[in-house]
Chains A and B, each alone.
Chain A
């Protein structure tokens, strides 16, 4: 029987506190009535009200949301195809390079990904803006999608697909009728993660964006460099709420998928 000692519980408690306390403090400060962030002036929602009137900030948020939506959709499709190719197609020419290109962007420092993307866009003289950020985010996120969907694909029993094909279904029909429903929760989860990644990215977007496509993180970064401010506390609290909700929903979906996947096993 597993047993947690007092030392284990202390480590867990300290770890969770370390992870969450800064975010809690941030949210509490966002309700501080005082303009001086460090001086407590009572509870107030005035900074949230001021955000509503900050047109450039709202515009940046809108651009970020659109970029996240488009790039997460593209990344989910491309990443799923990549995962299916890696797991189900056996050996094909260039598979090793393919796999390497899936894993490398996951750990590549962002400044390098951003720089190389920008130099590509300059080399083929594409004007930078909305679409260049979308391409960059899609490339980064599709690798995350591929890894998540891949782990789901290796998890479930191929006998289901074999049965469908023995009964005369074409590989395409088998994919649509058998494989796709089983990996759908993983795809939904990775879509949300791709969405969150895009919404959060500062470095790659800074390199690949152009005039007229300032994203929310770029806007926040330019303000935050100057120091702490109550408006930024409020913006950040809202983002924590939005992303937190998306991720909890994503993990619930994955769990649902896992439960259904194991139920489908013989």
Chain B
């Protein structure tokens, strides 16, 4: 028997209030972005012509469809600035996801090796920094990475470098910032998968004379694939659209796509181009997003 059996008033309310909210403030805005990306700069700039004139009826719809153009997309393709920006975002996201996996896997694995009671505390310790502001954590790294900051002092003290290297405004700083900020997103799904693995499998492998590293490689790693996939998607998707980290830690040579949207919007006030950049970004991310959703929903239904 289900709570919402029958078509009671409460059932309708519980479904339709959040549903309507999400349609109004998530779906519709996105359709508006799509529409503006297809309109000409002159028309869509503020002050701004209405998206769709309902009063005009069918004629309005025809005019609306006739007014659409792919000019903005053609413009994106023709200007290397945008293409380079997409490439840069994908490159940084892919490489930092790999880095996150390399850094996160040993941590997640080590947590599962500790006693149960300690595991909960360690997981909390890993998650805690995630909830302190993104902005503040990046700012903390600006402190550390500045020219006469603690990192360079340490390196000079240990005679690792002779001249203090410049960290800020480099890709290295962006990678550090991303790995730092997204580490909990990687460790949590990995831990969730690793923690569920059957202990007897390892015992069996050990009984059959398999060395520990080989058990790890042949049993643990393949079985943790769903966690690796979830963690990688959970990091990769938002990193592609990242704005704060490249803006504060990165250089000005090539911007990531999140910065491009921001600049088009706030500095150039070119809304149709900003909208087109955003739509292409969503198209790039649609496959990983659907993959992640599929996995999340399957996970929710299974449990």
List the interface of chain A (C-beta within 8 A of B).
Answer: 2-5, 7-9, 11-12, 15-16, 18-20, 22-23, 25-26, 29, 37-39, 78-79, 81-82, 84-85, 88-90, 92, 94, 98-105, 107-112, 115-117, 119-120, 122-123, 135-136, 138-139, 142, 146, 150-151, 154-155, 158, 161-162, 165, 170-172, 174-175, 179, 193, 196, 199-200, 202-203, 206-207, 217, 220-221, 224-225, 227-228, 232-233, 236, 239-240, 243-244, 246-248, 251, 255
Contacts and interface: CB of A to CB of B under 8 A. Distances in A.
Contact of A116 (B3, B30, B183, B247): B30
A2 B132 contact: no
B278 A172 contact: no
14 contacts: A4-B110, A8-B110, A8-B113, A11-B110, A25-B140, A115-B275, A116-B26, A151-B303, A171-B8, A193-B131, A203-B243, A220-B136, A244-B128, A255-B120
Contact of A82 (B18, B46, B147, B187): B18
B22 interface: yes
Contacts of A3: 113
B26 A104 contact: yes
B2 A88 contact: yes
Nearest to B104: A15
Contact of B244 (A89, A92, A112, A202): A202
B296 A2 contact: no
B73 interface: no
B241 A111 contact: yes
B234 A107 contact: yes
Given A25-B140, A81-B18, A240-B132, A5 B29 contact: no
A151 B300 contact: yes
B199 A2 contact: yes
B136 A15 contact: no
A115 to B, nearest CB: 5
Given A89-B11, A122-B46, A232 B139 contact: yes
B26 A18 contact: no
A228 B109 contact: no
Contacts of A161: 1, 3
Contacts of B1: 158, 161-162, 165
Given A12-B110, A217-B133, A119 B22 contact: no
B10 interface: yes
B262 interface: yes
B111 interface: yes
B133 A199 contact: yes
Contact of A139 (B21, B237, B243, B266): B21
A22 to B, nearest CB: 4
Nearest to B177: A22
A103 B293 contact: yes
A89 B125 contact: no
A200 B134 contact: yes
B14 A85 contact: yes
Contacts of B29: 116-117, 119-120
Contacts of A37: 143, 146
A7 B110 CA distance: 8
Interface of B: 1-6, 8, 10-11, 13-15, 17-19, 21-23, 25-30, 32-33, 36, 46, 48, 50-51, 103, 106-107, 109-115, 120, 122, 124-129, 131-137, 139-144, 146-150, 180, 183, 187, 199, 233-234, 237-238, 240-244, 247-248, 258, 261-262, 265-266, 271, 274-275, 278, 281-282, 285, 289, 292-293, 296-297, 300, 303
Given A2-B113, A120-B28, 9 more contacts: A16-B126, A23-B132, A85-B18, A89-B11, A98-B19, A110-B238, A202-B134, A247-B131, A247-B132
A12 B296 contact: no
A26 B183 CA distance: 19
Give 10 nearest A-B pairs by CB, closest first.
A109-B241, A116-B29, A8-B110, A11-B106, A89-B4, A82-B18, A15-B107, A120-B29, A22-B140, A4-B113
A23 B50 contact: no
Contact of B6 (A116, A171, A248): A171
Nearest to A100: B293
Contacts of A90: 2, 4
A258 B224 CA distance: 26
Contacts of B32: 116, 119-120, 123
B172 to A, nearest CB: 15
Contact of A85 (B4, B135, B137): B4
Contacts of B233: 107
Given A202-B135, A228-B143, A119 B33 contact: yes
The winner among A4, A136, A225, A233 for most chain B CB atoms within 10 A is A4
B146 to A, nearest CB: 6
A137 to B, nearest CB: 11
Contacts of B143: 22, 25-26, 29, 37, 228, 233
A251 B199 CA distance: 28
A89 to B, nearest CB: 4
Contacts of A172: 8, 10
Given A2-B114, A112-B278, A243-B132, A105 B144 contact: no
